[in-house]
Homo-oligomer: A and B are copies of this chain.
Amino acid sequence: MAIIDRKQREFERREEDILDAALLLFSQPNWESVSIEKVAKQAQIGKGTVYKHFESKDELLFKLMLRFYQGMLVTLPLKQTQSLPAVESFKTIFELVLQYHIENREYRYVVEYCGRIDFKARAKKSWRDAFKAIDQSFGEFSDPKLLEAMEKGEIAKRPIEEIHVGLAACFEGAVNMLWASTDWCSVGTDEEIVERIINFMVAGLIGQPK
């Protein structure tokens, strides 16, 4: 048993090694031309071995994306915002999430790749489920706060889905902006973008009194 455990651990450690090597290469602008063979070389193993751990390049990228979002979920509840008024609390969370994206910019190509329409379309059911679980975590984290804030009249009363969809769209667009900004027509520094987006999101969050 102890042997199986050790082997198991070694196997998993190697998986982490591959992921680390892959992220190192996939964080470079030329990431599209990074082949599995190069990842294998970086991890100092053979190409075939990579396929013992990940059944496709897509799965390797998907696992990296999962690591990114799980890391985000971990950092979120650390900052205690209970004592703040709801709107301030959400503002802090928005800032945290956007900041996390800025600080973990090395994942940008990977995360964007996994957000592509056709990546999603060919994603296996288990991947969709993993993704849904993350979405759900966010919902569980924020929905009680939202409902309470509506009850207290701090934000306009309306179907919670409206806020979900609005914030999700805004986040997605904002992240794309932050991650692409250096390469494309810049729309300002990261800080400027964050500040502007957050003001806009807060306004959308509060909503208009009926």
Contacts and interface: CB of A to CB of B under 8 A. Distances in A.
Nearest to A116: B112
Interface in A109-130: 109, 112, 115-118, 120-121, 123, 128
- Counting chain A residues whose Cβ lies within 8 A of the other chain, the interface size class is 35 or more
B187 A177 contact: no
A78 to B, nearest CB: 26
Nearest to A204: B204
A169 B163 contact: no
Contact of A173 (B31, B128, B170, B192): B170
Among A159, A165, A183, A208, the one with the most B-chain Cβ atoms within 10 Å of its Cβ is: A165
B118 A185 contact: no
Contacts of A188: 161, 165
A94 to B, nearest CB: 12
Contacts of A166: 170, 196-197, 199-201, 203-204
B170 A169 contact: yes
Given A116-B112, A183-B117, A168 B161 contact: no
8 contacts: A108-B117, A112-B116, A117-B179, A161-B187, A167-B200, A170-B170, A203-B203, A203-B208
The 7 closest A-B pairs by CB, nearest first: A166-B200, A169-B173, A172-B173, A204-B204, A121-B183, A173-B173, A162-B196
